[in-house]
Every structure is written in structure tokens, then in C-alpha cells.
Amino acid sequence: MTKPHIAVLDYGIGNLRSAQKALEHVGARAELTSDPSVTREADAVVLPGVGAFGACMDALRANGLEGVVHEAVGSGRPFLGICVGMQMLFDASDEDPGARGLGVIPGTVAWVPAGVPRPQMQWNRLTLRVEDPMFDGLGENPWMYFVHSLHGVPADPADVAATVQYGTTLNVAFRRGNVFATQFHPEKSATAGLGLLANFVKAASR
């Protein structure tokens, strides 16, 4: 069977290779790219990200990839946002109030409430809010690895796919049409994380 081609958007921020390597491990032909033509030909697209919301948005735009994201989302192909890549899909973030997000998921990114250490840097168990193919085979409350100080607050609560408890209920995975996005790092989340990425590869194979 031909391996699905997955474009991992490379806009010069953070360690993007870990996501690429994890996707290769679960059966994809994953390619780090900033080339719009490569992204158009891919079966699925991944937007990773680490660091600050505003800096990541600036880098994405500086590399001419904002339109590429919207084109990929609009194409209906499987699209995955990871960590700050997930946050960038929202309209805005409290971390950088002047920065404009991609607006793919209407809503904002808010600070984790006071009273618990920020960032949350630990394993935590998901509460799955929806039945979604990305969760197939992961069990009822899979453990995932987190490093974050903010979480997504969508305008439509139905966009929330999973939550965790960390001082309060935090939204940590989202589904909107062909877009799936996670605050946690599936590429650092051992068996459950690789299982989620394998489900994404499976979706890209259809």
C-alpha cells in the first residue's frame, strides 16, 4: 500500500522534526516543507508549533504560509494542528492580544486559570467529549503529554473534542470539519499519542 504523503508545515519555529519523525514511524511519508505546491499535492497537512502565539503567527506569515493553511483547510483534506499550531487556528490569544490568529476555529486562547503551576508540564488523562476517528483504539481516558500555559476556548462548545482536569476543566482537543487540533503533543505521548497519529495517517489514506 502506498504511504500517504503528509506535509508538515515548516516556518522556521521550534523542533518540527519530531512530529515528522513520529508520522513516519506510524506509516506516513511525512515531509517538512514551506513549498505551497508540495502542500497542495499532499494527502494531509500538519501545522505544528512551539513558543509564543504572536511569534509563530509572524513566522507563518513571513514564510508566506497563512494562505496555504486556509487553502489546505478549505480543500477538505485531513488537517492537524499541534500545540501552538492548535492555538494559531483560533482567532486570537490572551498571550499576545495584538496578534491575529488564523480564524479557522472561532474563539480565543485563554490563560490556564491561576492556582496551578503554569505551564502544565506533565502527563494528564483526557476526557473524550465526542466520538471521533482520531480517538479510535486509544481507550476511554488516554494519557497524553502537555507543556502549555493556555488553552482554547471556542465560540461553539461543540468544537471541543477532549478536556483534562488541571485546577479546572481545560479544553485540549478540537474538531471542526476536517480540522483536528490538540494542545498536547501526540509525538511525545508514547503509545496513545502514536495511536492518534496513526489514526490521522489512516484518515489521510482514504
Q: Which residues are annotated as catalytic?
A: 83, 185, 187
Q: How far is CA 183 from the centre of its chain?
A: 6
Which residues, listed in sequence order, are joined to residue 109 by a DSSP beta bridge? 93, 152
Coarse DSSP helix, strand, coil percentages of the chain, rounded to the nearest 5 percent: 30, 35, 35
For the chain, first and last CA: distance in Å? 12
Beta carbons within 8 Å of 197's beta carbon, 6+ residues apart: 22, 23, 26, 186, 187
Number of Cβ within 10 Å of residue 61's Cβ equals 13
User: With the CA atoms of 111, 168, 105 and 61 taken in that order, what torsion angle do they form, in degrees rounded to the nearest 10?
Assistant: 30
User: With the CA atoms of 125, 170, 80 and 149 taken in that order, what torsion angle do they form, in degrees rounded to the nearest 10?
Assistant: -100
Beta carbons within 8 Å of 118's beta carbon, 6+ residues apart: 111, 112, 149
Q: At what angle do helices 17-25 and 190-204 cross, to 10 degrees?
A: 80
